[in-house]
Amino acid sequence: MKIFLIISTLIATILSYKWTPENDDKVFNVFQQFIKAYNRKYIVGELDARHTKFRENWAELSDKLANKRSKYFHGVTQFFDMTPQEFARKQLTLQITPEEEIKASQAKDNFDHGRNLQTLPAEVDFEALGKVTPIKNQGSCGSCWAFATMGILESQYLILNRTATATSINFSEQYQMNCDYNNYSCQGGSVYSALWWLRYNGGTVQNEDAFSYLIKNQVCSKSSTRFPITVNNFYVVSQSEYSMKYALYMYGPIASALNAGLLQTYKGGIIDFENYAPGTDCPNTTADVNHAVIIVGYGTENGVDYWKVKNSWGPTWGEKGYFRIARGKNMCGIQWFNYYVNVSLK
């Protein structure tokens, strides 16, 4: 609770004034609060450089807050002492493979849009249904691909095993990072490649108790402790938000991807813009996609259709670890790469 109070104070302070050379002492005091809130421990000589980055982000955020075109909330996050380039290098490491891009562009639907979409409910939330595990934190490791992969498998287990609870299971991202030779552990990877590896290497996953998350690369080793779930197959959703909506409702949470640059300062609300301009607001080509996430629901608020998305940056980030993003606009490229799985329980 204390960290939320400190962060709320930081946001209120930004709203009250912009950075100028005259008020740099005030900004430095807020920077010290940031260090305390996020338990930052800098090496010798690093403090001044981090303060400079914090100050630059402060000035940019002040401009964003004054820009009424964006319709969501910006603020101080755990990434506020990083440059956008450093943030991307450490957190946005999804690697779309050439094969994946071809498969996604060629994916076809097996249902009729007009007929099937008329029967879908106006709102779906698998988290509220208890079919989504608690928010995790990938830390300073480019392992979003592993968290998105394990996350949709955890949801499938909860959907099939009605006696299981969201807090009773925890699949190991670390094991996938250690042993999946298609991907690069903390240096990035692809959900498509991870699902392919699971499908064609026995389809089994390991328990977190056997392979705890260490936020670093490790040598692959085996364990007799395996979770009783097998990946039979996985499917690429066609590049349409109509298809995403249907797949989500019919098959459960889906792994997705987007350009996540603006999430560096996201605090809440639906990511949307007045007169959305992809080139300046949030890039949305296939080449711009750089972060893997899990779509767990959809709905409408104040006339704005949105996706509810599970992230892997901890429960104090965003909306208790989630974010919402406008639906039907290919916002930030979210319609390009989406997957669901078919699993069975042993």
Question: Which is catalytic among the residues 311, 330, 332, 338?
Answer: 311
Amino acid present at 297: G
Amino acid present at 268: G
- Separation CA 100–CA 114 (nearest Å): 28
Give the per-residue pLDDT at 74: 87
The CA–CA distances, whole Å, from 144 to 39, 149, 218, 346 equal 22, 9, 17, 27
Show the CA angle centred on residue 10, arms to residues 71 and 92, nearest 5°: 60
Count of alpha carbons within 13 Å of 82, Cβ hemisphere only?
19
Question: Which is catalytic among the residues 141, 144, 179, 332?
Answer: 144
The answer to whether residues 308 and 131 touch, using CB atoms and an 8 Å cutoff, is no
Give the per-residue pLDDT at 25: 81
**Secondary structure letter of residue 334 according to DSSP:** T
Look up 144 and say whether it is catalytic: yes
Report helix angle 191-200 to 144-160, nearest 10. Answer: 60
- Separation CA 339–CA 151 (nearest Å): 12
Look up 311 and say whether it is catalytic: yes
Question: Which is catalytic among the residues 51, 179, 291, 338?
Answer: 291
- Separation CA 290–CA 177 (nearest Å): 18
> Under 8 Å CB-to-CB from 202, ≥6 apart: which residues?
230
Q: What is the pLDDT along the chain (346 residues), one digit of tens a residue?
A: 555 555 555 555 555 556 566 667 888 888 999 999 999 999 988 999 999 999 999 888 887 777 767 889 988 999 999 999 999 999 999 999 999 999 999 998 766 555 565 689 999 999 999 999 999 999 999 999 999 999 999 999 999 999 999 999 999 999 999 999 999 999 999 999 999 999 988 888 999 988 999 999 889 987 766 778 899 999 999 999 999 999 999 999 999 999 999 999 999 999 999 889 888 899 999 999 999 999 999 999 999 999 999 999 999 999 999 999 999 999 999 999 999 999 999 7
Q: Which residues pair with 298 in a beta bridge?
A: 124, 307
> Under 8 Å CB-to-CB from 66, ≥6 apart: which residues?
none
- Separation CA 133–CA 135 (nearest Å): 7
**Secondary structure letter of residue 291 according to DSSP:** E
Q: Which residues pair with 304 in a beta bridge?
A: 301
Question: Among residues 310, 89, 77, which one has the least CA distance to residue 186?
Answer: 89
Reported in sequence order, the residue ranges of 78-180 that DSSP labels E, i.e. its strands, are: 124-125
Look up 220 and say whether it is catalytic: no
Amino acid present at 290: N
- C-alpha radius of gyration, the chain, whole number: 20
> Under 8 Å CB-to-CB from 228, ≥6 apart: which residues?
345, 346
Secondary structure class of 203 (helix, strand, coil): coil
